[in-house]
Copies of this chain bind each other. A is one copy, B any other.
Amino acid sequence: MRVLKYAILGLLEQEKQTGYDIAAAFKGALGQFWSAKHSQIYPELKKLVAEGLIEFETVIQGEKLEKKLYSLTVAGEAELKEWMQRLEAVDVSHKDEFMLKTFFISSMEKEEAKELFSNQLDSRKRKLDELGRILTELEAEFGSNIVFSSPEFGHYLVLTRAIEREKGYIQWLERSLQFME
């Protein structure tokens, strides 16, 4: 499927940037739904250059640090657009190791299961707090007038989705814990 290819094309469409910047982007809100390590990014960038979808200019940072600023070619823009418009089927298995354990819950003692769920609940709550803080920052910077045409609309949508996903998970964990009483 080469999804990383499109992730990179999409990021470069927003802004000229280095491989390092791309790796950093995956550490933000985007990383909730897609990410890759630099060891995967650099070879992919090389491949995309070879395919003529992106190009780069070498820029000197400070005295001698050479960094590569990548940008989309016309062909790259076309490929990105084609992928964006594709209507793909919903993929089934969003892998989740915790839910795999849950499936096997009958092999556990009730107290063990409760501990497992409580611990997961704590982690999810902490993550929700963190996401809430990021949203607050975004709203502080752009106000509540983020609409379709705003460049940060995508960021906003992804954040709200991540937050609601956590909320849903938390509710389910709480109800499941009650169920175990």
**A residues engaging B (CB < 8 A)?**
1, 3, 6-7, 10, 13-14, 26, 29-35, 80-81, 83-85, 87-108, 110, 112-113, 115-116, 119-120, 123-124, 127, 147-155, 157-158, 160-161, 164-165, 167-169, 171-172, 176, 179-180
Instruction: Please classify the interface of chain A as helix (H, G, I), strand (E, B), loop, or mixed, using the class held by over half of its residues.
Output: helix
User: What 9 A-B pairs are tightest by C-beta distance, nearest first?
Assistant: A33-B99, A10-B104, A168-B168, A105-B154, A35-B93, A90-B123, A103-B154, A33-B96, A34-B100
Count identical subunits in the complex: 2
Distance (Å) between the CB of A131 and the closest chain B CB?
A: 11
If A116-B85, A123-B90 touch, whether A96 touches B34 (CB-CB below 8 Å) is yes
Q: Which B residues touch A95, using CB under 8 A?
A: 3, 33-35, 94
Structural contact, B103 and A155, CB atoms closer than 8 A:
yes
